[in-house]
Structure 1
Amino acid sequence: MQSLDLSYYNVQVEWEDPSIQNFIDYVAYMNSSKGNEGITLTHCRLNWRGAVFTYLYKVTQLNEDEAKAKKDMLAIWQPNETWQDYIDEVIEFYQSK
């Protein structure tokens, strides 16, 4: 990846127990790449966690329209109960700040 001048960051997320800290780490990595030229790719094995984290970043950090961000996420995956609870928890965390 060095030959391509790419940076790689790995946020370890337990599938059945995602945490607020996981998203805080993700935000830190995303913010560290601001101002760099190019594209940022978020992914995971099935791209479900990636879709949720991208949705949450758009809504909590970029103040993008929630309905549009959700539509983009739902095109990839319909979160299960664990992940919907996580979405609600993260959004509540950032709204209370």
Structure 2
Amino acid sequence: MIGDRGKNSMSHHSIEDIYNFLKLSDAIATSGQPTEEQFLAIRESGYQIVVNLALPESPNALPDEKQVVEAQGMQYKNIPVVWDNPTLEDVAQFFSIMEDHSDKNIFVHCAANMRVSAFMYLYRRIHKGMSDDDARKDLEQIWLPNETWQKFIEQVVEHYQ
């Protein structure tokens, strides 16, 4: 199998291999926690900003993620969203980053793409005018929000209406 090595050497750096990877548009993709090597694939795929919604102590978190991302020449933003207590402040900060960088390719991740899929659902509904059905399809490809997150989603939608 050694002879096949050159052919397959890129396969473990494919952006599609990142846990729960989901491309939402030409400019936005989401996932769970990428590995250090996968940040290279993210950059090679044209993303300019990485937004991390996980906590530094989340499962599989990279302790030096900011340095890893910035070493690739990408910008790094972290909004540590507490899993059991997402806040309006968290989502407002997220909306602000997304709007401020809407001219760039943005890669958004958390530990499992659950926080991110909920935040992206809200962003697309509130800022992009997407229908609930269309936005929900992508959210539900990842998970069905639990009671905490369902209440949060309703709270945010109500707040911004």
Would you identify which runs of 4 or more consecutive aligned residues in structure 1 move more than 4 Å? none
Q: How does 1:1-97 map to 2 (within 5 A)?
A: 1-36=69-104, 39-95=105-161
TM (norm. structure 1) is: 0.90
Gaps of 5+ in 2: 1-68
Give a deviation string over 1:21-77, Cα, whole Å, max 9, x none: 0000001111121223xx211110011001000110000111112101101100101
Alignment partners' CA distance in 1, 2:82 and 2:70: 28
Alignment partners' CA distance in 1, 2:110 and 2:118: 10
TM (norm. structure 2) is: 0.55
Is 2:81–2:90's contact at 8 Å kept on the other side of the alignment?
A: yes
Query: Sequence identity, in percent?
Result: 32
Q: Kindly indicate which of the two structures has a greater share of residues assigned to helix.
A: 1
How many residue pairs match? The answer is: 93
Is 2:121–2:136's contact at 8 Å kept on the other side of the alignment?
A: yes
- The amino acid across from 1:33 in the alignment is H
Gaps of 5+ in 1: none
- The amino acid across from 2:119 in the alignment is F
